[in-house]
Amino acid sequence: MKLRNIAIIAHVDHGKTTLVDELLKQSGSYRENQRVAERVMDSNELEKERGITILAKATSIVWKDTRINIVDTPGHADFGGEVERILNMVDSAIVLVDAAEGPMPQTKFVVGKALKVGLRPIVVINKVDRSDARPAEVVNEVFDLFAMLDATDEQLDFHILYGSGRSGWMAEAPEGPQDQGMAPLLDLVLKHVPEPKIHEDNQFRMIGTLLEANPFLGRMITGRITSGSIKPNQSVKVLAQDGSVVEQGRISKILAFRGIERTPIEEGVAGDIIAIAGLQKGTVADTFCDLSVTEPMVAQPIDPPTVTMSFIVNDSPLAGTEGDKVTSRVIRDRLLKEAEGNVALKIEEAADKDSFFVSGRGELQLSVLIETMRREGFELSISRPRVVLQKSESGETLEPVEEVVIDVDEEHSGVVVQKMSERRGEMLEMRPSGGNRQRLVFRAPTRGLIGYQADLMTDTRGTAIMNRLFHAYEPYKGDIAGRRNGVLIANGPGEAVAYALWNLEDRGPMMIEPGWKVYQGMIVGEHTRENDLEVNVLKGKQLTNIRTTSKDEAVRLTPPIRMTLERALTYIQDDERVEVTPKSIRLRKVYLDPTERKRKEKSSEFA
C-alpha angle with apex 439: 436 to 444, nearest 5 degrees?
150
Q: Check the annotation: does 126 bind a ligand.
A: yes
Cis peptide bond prior to 177, omega within 30° of 0: yes
Contact residues for 119 (Cβ-Cβ < 8 A; gap 6+): 87, 90, 91, 92, 93, 155
Cα–Cα distance, 111 to 312 (Å, whole number): 38
Alpha carbons 3 and 274: distance in angstroms, whole number: 13
Q: Is 325 annotated as ligand-binding?
A: no
Q: In 245-388, which ranges are E strands?
A: 245-250, 253-258, 261-264, 268-269, 273-277, 287-289, 307-313, 346-349, 355-360, 380-382, 386-387
Q: Which residues contact 325 (CB under 8 A, 6 or more apart)?
A: 331, 334, 376, 377, 378, 379
CA distances from 144 to 112, 141, 488 (A): 13, 5, 52
Ligand-binding site membership of 16 (annotated):
yes
Cα 607 to Cα 96, 485, 574, 575, distances in angstroms: 46, 17, 9, 10
Is 192 annotated among the ligand-binding residues? no
Report the alpha-carbon distance of residue 71 to residue 87 in Å, rounded: 9
Residue type, 292: S
* 140 in a known ligand binding site: no
565 vs 175, 294, 370, 416, 581, CA distance in Å?
Answer: 44, 47, 9, 24, 11
CA dihedral sign of residues 422, 423, 429, 433: negative
b/e per residue 306-338 (b: at least 16 CB within 10 A): bbbbbbbbbebebeeebbebbebeebbebbeee
Q: Is 271 annotated as a binding residue?
A: no
CB of 591 closer than 8 Å to CB of 583:
no
Residue 17 is assigned to a ligand binding site = yes
Annotated binding-site members = 13-18, 126-129
Annotated binding-site members for GTP = 13-18, 126-129
